[in-house]
Amino acid sequence: MKRLVLEPSERRQIDRLVDDLVVEFGPWEAAQFVPHAKRVAESLPIRVRQFFRRVLSAETDVAVVSGLPLSEDLAPTPTGWEMAAKTGAGAREEVVLTLLSALLGEPFAWGDQQNGRMVHDVCPAPGKELSETSGSSTAPLSLHTEDAFHQCRCDYVALSCLRNDDRIATTVVRADRIALPPRLAAILSERRFHHRPDQSHVGPHGHASEAVDTDAILFGPAEARYLRIDFDDTCAADQDDHDAAEAITELYAHVCAAREKVVLEPGDAIFLDNYRVVHGRDPFQPRYDGTDRWLKRVNLIRDIRRVYLATESRSRVIG
């Protein structure tokens, strides 16, 4: 886990960049700005650029940048992403997150998630309290790899914090901190598992997507394992494969033992390596009075061609 705390002068430098962008792109929407983000990110403070260079080359599992600029007149927390999309709440903070994200990867989106938006809002939504989506609140958000069901899932999930008065923690589990018995690791490394979409993927008719991918849970370099699991949506591919089902249960116990909590403060952004970390969130009581917890989220891929191959076009929106 690595953290960079910005100096006030660096914060001002970022603020000025955002000012220029607002002039250049007008009252913009994040999607418009994304293709230009890498160019503009060249003007971010040098310590920020060096930080992300190291994160990339070392495959840092969890990276946090603190002290990012926040609008003085930040809007009240929206009651769900639809409201945020309509009102453009937190647009400046979207630019900041998109700019930093450009140093790690390429933003992309899912057509069936938050209506194909490039930057998502993570805030509690009435009616979604118990759901398995970022709009949940009173139910915990179970530990997961972001979009574990898809071959083209992100390399990094970036979350920036606009408001978190109640100090609700994001839970992270780093693969390097999980010690698995070899027998268990061997089962988890076999392609004996179904990875299914979570409830945030909703098609045009309001039904959850039914795509399934059959694959291992554990893979990658032996000295730094990669993980792919959503504890709500990954199961044994064969109903009669009791060893595979049992392996998920055992893995869950190991993962829980390695849980760490990170409380994001306003002005913090966290970058989770989606191959090396699973994450989730503690439950909380929403108020829906404009003061609830509020994050922005971006999915990042290292090579945008993987998205182009998935979409068979030069589109950044899958599905």
Residue type (1 letter), 259: R
- Binding to ligand AKG by CB under 6 A, coded x per residue (else -) over 232-271, reads ----------------------------------------
Q: Using alpha carbons, select from 278, 234, 273 the residue that is nearest to residue 255.
A: 278
For residue 301, the partner it binds in ligand AKG, Fe ion, none, with Cβ less than 5 to 8 A by kind, is none
Positions 143 through 182 that interact with ligand AKG (CB under 6 A): 146, 157, 170
Closest CA to 268 of 104, 99, 63: 63
Write the CB contacts of 50 (distance below 8 Å, at least 6 apart in sequence). none
For ligand AKG, the closer of residues 128 and 192 by Cβ is 128
Least distance (Å) between residue 134 CB and Fe ion: 7
Residue number of the CB atom closest to ligand AKG: 170
User: Is 132 an interacting residue with respect to Fe ion (CB under 5 A)?
Assistant: no
To the nearest whole angstrom, how small is the minimum distance from the Cβ of residue 133 to ligand AKG?
Answer: 9
Q: How far is CA 125 from the centre of its chain?
A: 18
- Amino acid of residue 109: A
**Binder among 132, 297, 298, 318 for ligand AKG (CB under 6 A):** 297
**Residue 195 interacting partner from Fe ion, ligand AKG, none (CB closer than 5 to 8 Å by kind):** none
d(CA 275, CA 59) in angstroms, rounded, equals 10
Per-residue string for binding with Fe ion, 138-177, x by CB under 5 A? --------x-------------------------------
Which residues form the interface with ligand AKG (CB under 6 A)? 122, 134, 141, 146, 157, 170, 279, 281, 295, 297
Which residues form the interface with Fe ion (CB under 5 A)? 146
